Amino acid sequence: MRMRPIVGPLPDTGTRPAGGMDEIAGQLAAGGVAVLTGAGISTESGIPDYRGVTGRHRRHSPMTYQDFVADEANRRRYWARGYVGRRAIAEARPNAGHHAVQALRASGHVDAVITQNVDGLHQAAGTTDAVALHGSLDRVVCLDCETISPRDELDARLLAANGELLAARDAAGLRVNPDGDIELPDDLVHTFRVVPCERCGGVLKPYVVFFGENVPKPRTRRCMDLIDAAGSLLVLGSSLAVLSGLRFVRRAAKDGKPVSVINLGPTRGDDLAHAHVEMPLGQALTELTERLGLTLP
C-alpha cells in the first residue's frame, strides 16, 4: 500500500466516539493492547507533525519517492534540507509520552508498539522492540547495490563537503519537519554537494518509506500479526490520514477488537473507535500510567 502526501489538518466533522479516559484506562488494565503511534507523540519533543496543530503552517508537501528517484535536483534538495534538519531530529529527546509507552510495555499492559514515526524516540525511551513501520532516519540505503549503512557515516561525509550549512541553519533558526527535512534558502540548496554510495557510486536514499512508496511486505505482515495477536488497539497521536496506519484500525475493528484514540483533532478512524480523547499525549499518558500505579523516569 503506497503512502500519499496529505498535509494540513483533517476536516473536523464534529463527530467523536463517546468514550473517554475511563474506557482507555480499562482497556490498558485488561492488557493485551497494541499501540500505534504517529507524529503527534513527538511534538512535545520539538518535532512538528504534518496534520495537527504544529503542522498547519508547513508550506510544502514532503518529498515523494517518485520525485526523489526521477530528478537529481530533487535529490539535492532533499539531502540539503534533510542533512540540516536531521540535526534537530538527532538532538530531540523522548518526552513523557514515549516514556509512558515504555512503562506500559514493560509492565505488560501493552503487548506491542508500532510507530509511524522515523525519529527513533520510542527506541531511545527503551522500547527497543517497537516496529518502525516507515523505517528510520538513522540509516541510508543505496538504490543501486542495496547496501544499508549508518546515517552518521553519511552525515560525516556531507559535513566535509557542506559544513557551512550547519551554520546557516543555526543563524536562520529554521524549523524541522517530521520527515527530517527543513526549509532552506534556494541558494544553499543549489550549491549543496550530494555524495554517492561509497561501495558502488550509486544513489543514496534514507532508509525510510517515502510518500508514494510501499511499506515492505514483511514489515506489514509483522505488524498485522501483532494486531491479530492483540486484544485491543490504542492509537496515539495519529490522524490516520495515511492508509498504512488506518488499515490496522480497520483490521482490529473488523475482528471486533476495541479501538481507542488519543489525538488532538479528528482522525479517519473515529467512526471505528469506541473512545477518543483530545489531550496532549504527555499529559494523557502520564495520567493513565498513574491510574495503573506506574511511575515514569
Task: Catalogue the active-site residues.
Answer: 134
Residues in the chain: 297
* Interacting residues of 115 by C-beta distance below 8 A, sequence separation 6+: 36, 37, 38, 41, 122, 130, 131, 132, 133
| DSSP reduced 3-state for 51 | coil
Q: Strands, DSSP E only, in the chain? A: 33-37, 110-115, 131-132, 135-142, 148-150, 204-208, 232-236, 259-262, 275-277
Q: What are phi and psi of 110, to 5 degrees?
A: -110, 130
Q: Which residue has the cell 502526501?
A: 5
Q: What is the amino acid identity at position 81?
A: R
- DSSP state, residue 60: S
